[in-house]
Structure 1
Amino acid sequence: MKIAVVIPCYKVTRHVMDVLAAIDDAVAAIYCVDDACPDGSGALIQASRTDPRVTVLFHPHNRGVGGAIKTGYRAAIADGMDILVKVDGDGQMDPALLMDFVAPIADGTADYTKGNRFWNLSHIRRMPLLRRVGNLMLSFMTKASSGYWQVFDPTNGYTAIHARVASHLRLDAVSDRYFFETDMLFRLNTIRAVVQDVAMDARYADETSNLRVSRILGEFAFKHVRNTLKRIGYNYFLRDLSIASLELIAGLGLLAFGSLFGLYHWIASASADVTTPVGTIMIVMVALISGLQFLLAFTGFDIANVPRQVLHRSIQVNRAVPPVARPR
């Protein structure tokens, strides 16, 4: 299989050449995407490169890390690559681990692999505390919005994907910026691709993060809720109608009825200064408890309903993927 590496380049001039030098000889092509880098990362790579595998692509305007990755994906698909690995140019991701991400795809056990920095508990303390706490919260939200309940560390950008699967994704619809990795999981679930975690250790040195939690917190929360609703609607009411669909309807209906019925009678009893009848209280409690049980049953079904059949074995590359404009 032809392996390609995609490296988004934005303010990575201090590390990117070391990253390029460490990439495995088994890699057939390397696509460095200068995302309108103010430090001239692309020009530096062009001036210093000695590796014929390296191609530098330029964005006239900054599109974010997701936009850069999508440009690299399209170029690699157009060039006939089979497995596309994304590596950051800031030195946080060890290129020596690259084949660990390729192997499950090449073996036919996964369509998409992603790093997980939480496997080795003895190394978790190396991660800054704020990142640890943020990852815990984001991981749970991502499980719900993507449907991949078995994966963790959703913001980990060390990933690999089969070109056939990437070509069938609506790349234009995937988020361009920091929500890219999370949005990719949601899009992968819509086509029922198999996702697998790969244990890894991150390296933290003098790299500068461009991510500001205060700026993206509200955006991430909104997009997670949106993707959760879209995924449930698509998987349980458009693609299929199963017992879980009925459990969800019953659960939400009973919870809504119990809440509204109980609130109405509580207000009425309080206004009349009388005690709410025991029968009314029992109706409310039965509705709320039954609704909660139905929702728990639906959640259990959803957790077990992760994709298990590898997709790339049964599909071909989608040749309708828009080509990438190459620099002259």
Structure 2
Amino acid sequence: MTSLLIIIPAYNEEENIRSLIDSIRSISFKIKIEIIVINDCSTDRTSSICKELGIKVIDLPCNLGIGGAVQTGYKYAKENNFDLAIQVDGDGQHDPVYIDKIVEPILEGKADMVIGSRYIDKSGFQSTRLRRFGIRYLCLLINTLTDLKITDPTSGFRVCNKRIIDQFAINYPKDYPEPESIMYLRRKGFTIKEEAVVMNERVGGTSSINLNRSIYYMIKVSLAIFFDKIRKESF
């Protein structure tokens, strides 16, 4: 039976993590699943709550950020020979009810990675105005530099097959990895698709994205995408 690892990167998500895990456990999935929480050196009860619930936790000794936390999950997936891996953020914005839907194209051999996009049907929480502006810019940039049309390049709600698990276990962007990883996979010749999902608004806790970090994000990701394009054309 196909096995799926649900990777939950979490930093100070004690207000959200219990309801997320309860939600995952309430669903009868079509494939075999396992949950792993990557606790990114939280200073609250994120780790202890997961352990109380009987969830396997990897406690990182220092804060690696989203890229390092997610890559830890991919390393675990590779070492334990999972067929598929999916990222579900610990803040509860990714609704696990859509997991079967975004896994299906991979099981049918139509994609190597599938991204859950909130901007196909444009239902549910659509993020802040500032972030929507940044997303539109990144869509235009990626679509211009490649022949790939992506509507939600910053979405971390994504599932990948074993071939990509092997790639990400070795090489995964460390800082704001989602748009960079799309370019990386495109350069490697993988097939990427999107499926419509509805995302939730964060209920508790505080997002790490503010105005200053948003500006840094746009500059850093733009440069990384351009460099990846140059690398593709040079080699």
SS at match of 1:115: strand
Aligned equivalent of 2:94? 93
Quick one: structure 1 residues 212 and 143, their matched pair in 2 at CA, closer, same or farther if it must change by over 3 Å? farther
Offset of residue 157 of structure 1: 1.0
Offset of residue 221 of structure 1: 2.1
Q: 1:211 aligns with which of 203, 209, 212?
A: 209
Q: 1:180 aligns with which of 177, 180, 193?
A: 177
Aligned equivalent of 2:149? 150
What RMSD in Å do the two structures reach over aligned CA positions? 2.1
Aligned equivalent of 2:22? 21
So what's the TM-score if we normalise by structure 2?
0.88
Cα deviation code 1:269-322 (max 9, x no counterpart): xxxxxxxxxxxxxxxxxxxxxxxxxxxxxxxxxxxxxxxxxxxxxxxxxxxxxx
Is 1:202 the counterpart of 2:222? The answer is no
For residues 74 and 137 of structure 1, the distance between their equivalents in structure 2, rounded to whole angstroms, comes to 31
SS at match of 2:173: coil
Aligned equivalent of 2:38? 33
For residues 191 and 22 of structure 1, the distance between their equivalents in structure 2, rounded to whole angstroms, comes to 35
Instruction: Tell me the amino acid that sits aligned with residue 155 of structure 1.
Output: T
So what's the TM-score if we normalise by structure 1?
0.64
Aligned equivalent of 2:62? 61
**Moved >6 Å (runs of 4+):** none
For residues 164 and 93 of structure 1, the distance between their equivalents in structure 2, rounded to whole angstroms, comes to 24
Offset of residue 199 of structure 1: 0.5
Offset of residue 143 of structure 1: 3.3
SS at match of 1:92: coil
Aligned equivalent of 2:105? 104
SS at match of 2:186: helix
Identity %: 23
Higher RCO (C-alpha under 8 Å, 6+ residues apart): 2
Aligned equivalent of 1:134? 134
Offset of residue 131 of structure 1: 2.6
For residues 151 and 126 of structure 2, the distance between their equivalents in structure 1, rounded to whole angstroms, comes to 17
8 Å contact from structure 2 (residues 112, 192) kept in 1: yes
SS at match of 1:42: helix
Unaligned runs of 5+ in 2: none
Aligned equivalent of 1:193? 190
SS at match of 1:20: helix
Instruction: Tell me the amino acid that sits aligned with residue 161 of structure 1.
Output: C
Offset of residue 116 of structure 1: 1.2
Instruction: Tell me the amino acid that sits aligned with residue 183 of structure 2.
Output: F
Q: More strand per residue: 1 or 2?
A: 2
Aligned equivalent of 1:260? none
Offset of residue 176 of structure 1: 1.8
Q: How does 1:1-328 map to 2 (within 5 A)?
A: 1-23=2-24, 24-25=27-28, 26-49=31-54, 54-121=55-122, 123=123, 126-144=126-144, 147=146, 149-169=148-168, 171-172=170-171, 174-177=172-175, 179-207=176-204, 208-234=206-232, 236-238=233-235
